[in-house]
Structure 1
Amino acid sequence: MSHDPSDLPGSQEVPTLDPARPTGCPFDPPAGLARVREERPLSRLRYPDGHLGRLATGHAVTRAILGDSRFSARYELMHYPFPGGPEGPLPPAPVGDMTGMDAPEHTRYRRLLMGKFTVRRMRQLTDRVEEITTEHLDAMERRGPGADLVPAFAQPIPALMICELLGVPYADRDTFHRHTVALMTRDVTPEEQYAAMTGLQEYLHGLVLAKRAAPTDDLLGDLARDSDLTDEELSGLGSFLLAAGLDTTANMLAHGTFALLRHPEQAAALRGGPDLADQAVEELMRYLTVAHTTVRVALEDVALDGQVIKAGESVTLSLEAANRDPAKFADPDTLDIHRKATGHLGFGHGIHQCLGQQLARVEMKVALPALLTRFPTLRLAVPPEEVPLRTDMNIYGVHSLPVTWAEN
């Protein structure tokens, strides 16, 4: 398969995909992505290993690819889009990792889980989210002004909820959190990543065996009793759900707070109008897009956007660029919680759309207004440029968020 390197736009360079934001706003995509999107929403991209694939930055084309079964999510078919990544072919997805599967395997797992993550069932958890949120706000208030919002608030709320939902002991959080951090870090060695995955699955395997012997009233207990999943499949699926439920929402809570504190008029609007919580969550998902990119591979030649994507070509989808596409969202670089951000891709699209999105919505729409209402004078305790960004991780956000407030 031959391609003409002259197809590469001059503005399109690999650094436009680098998650680092060395200058400028910590909430905005790298400027290069906007230039590429304006030039051509689906364009050529030279991958670090030399592969000449594609980069999707426009909302319409990105959404179309996510919803098209002619594009595969299987890791072993992909080329890695970031510099410094693994050399050679990527390994297949571990057992239970739904992100790297296609139908029909993916369909089998998703059907087992869909009834566990319905909108109605997640809304029934609202009272528990409110209780957990209040407990952590009370603890912050008792300690007095000054906290790192990540361990004090953003991490424990989704961690407690996913642990209770799955039936994983929260007391074991140090064990599984260490493994999930290694899995989410970009620059760990393949050996370290394998060790983390193995450690997490071994932990879940022990839990699965216990639930096989004495089923519990939780998601893993239900699957252990009612499904035909093997121990390996159930352990892998549990590892996948636990890692996904811990990290993404925690970063949305912390990074969302950072964004609101940097846009005090938006924080004030949310504090004064809790009925805006639903819209605020959707707008923050659009504006921040903490899961920046995903990759698909054409399984056959596909005509799209006036081009033909050849079978075997990797297509990197920049979800953050798509969510800032002015062809879809007016004034897209402005955070506006009054906006109806319908159609954003913060939770993805198609068969791989985030399974736990309804739980994440409940957690955010409860926790963020409660935080701003409890501490109306909440502010950063350090200059904004000193807030450490998670540019080394697969999910963007902040490593810590030092805040303070005035005592009553």
Structure 2
Amino acid sequence: NYLDPEEEVLQSVDPGVVGSPLLDAERVLGYLLGLHAHWLAQSTTLQLVEQEVSGWLAAELLQGGLHVTTPPSPYEEKSEARSTGSTPTDPSTPQAPQIDTSPTDHVRLSEHWVHTLLTLLDQHFKQQNVYHFMRHISFAPDHPVEEVARLLLSVLVKHLALGHHAISIIEKGSVGNHAKYFTNVAKVIHQTKWKLIKMRQEQNRSYKEVCAPILDKCRYLLYEVRPATSHECNALKHLQLLSTESRWQRIIKTVIRQRRGSKTANLQNQEIKAKKMKDTDIGKEGPSRAQTSSDNSGEVPVRCESEVVLSQAIADFVTLGGDVEALRKAMYCQVERANLRKSGLQMMLQLVKRDQLIPSVKYYLLNGWLGPATPHHPLQARGKVSHCLTDIQLVTTYQKVEVLLAQAELLQ
């Protein structure tokens, strides 16, 4: 049974026999990784809690997102997970803060300032007799309706970016030239007071019971939601990246333009005329746009573009029926969706940047990124996302920009 090593015959192995299964495995793995990145970029579908509050998912007053993007622990007590008093949460902490319900000098000072501002506004508009119904409401300072008025005033000042005007009024002790900024605010507050009186009569309950859910909504907008009017939100609306074409779009348009070069001279002349007309229109609009930008360049304070609409939306939100807890969960769902979408885009970006992948593996990777081609695939019922910001309207501006930059870098 002994075999002499000199007589052993060595058989040569064909490299193609070994390499082919490994290449096939690499291609399949590339497809699966691309498909996984695709589903991460598609992220989750609308949850049931989001469908319950679907009427507020596109509301402008919630476009700023949440101060704290990490949901509170379910094991914490309700009083510890969120604020039920007048102490604001800390926007700089990434986790749910521990709320100290004991009154402090800062809180007393803030409440005193709000009470002073509301008193000055009432006195000014009553003297001016702007709204006749302002003379017919009189409650004690500790009345629930007055507490709603103070909180609603704080919410409107925050979300309409009227803080510097409010401070100027309090320091001077008179409304003065700032009345035009608070005319609609005073109107909304007094209309809300009358609405509370009507709700109390219709529901046959005490003012405390009627105002309790409204106070919770005001505190939610004041302490947990970022301002709807800010430099960040305005910058996102005018972000050049939203209208910038990607590299492959420019290449495709260049190829189409070159193919159109073989058309008849008549069609070419029509295109040239249309282009000249477009350039003429742009030239007419140019000076007005430049003048507008130069006028706004000197204004440091942020300005709300639609104060009347936004203030009325805030008043409707706090007075109409709705669950704040459901809305809070819906906003956390959108935060989670934005994080998943960003991770999917970044994962695909890292994969396509690998230089050691052979072209066939990259081809399978891109096929996986495009998703299943079968029209009746069970996962296709989720539908494809038309835009990278779809269903994440209520996240912070920073998270939206992160998703936009990841999408733009991948398309480049």
TM-score range (shorter-chain normalised) is: under 0.3
TM-score by length of 1: 0.26
Higher strand residue share: 1
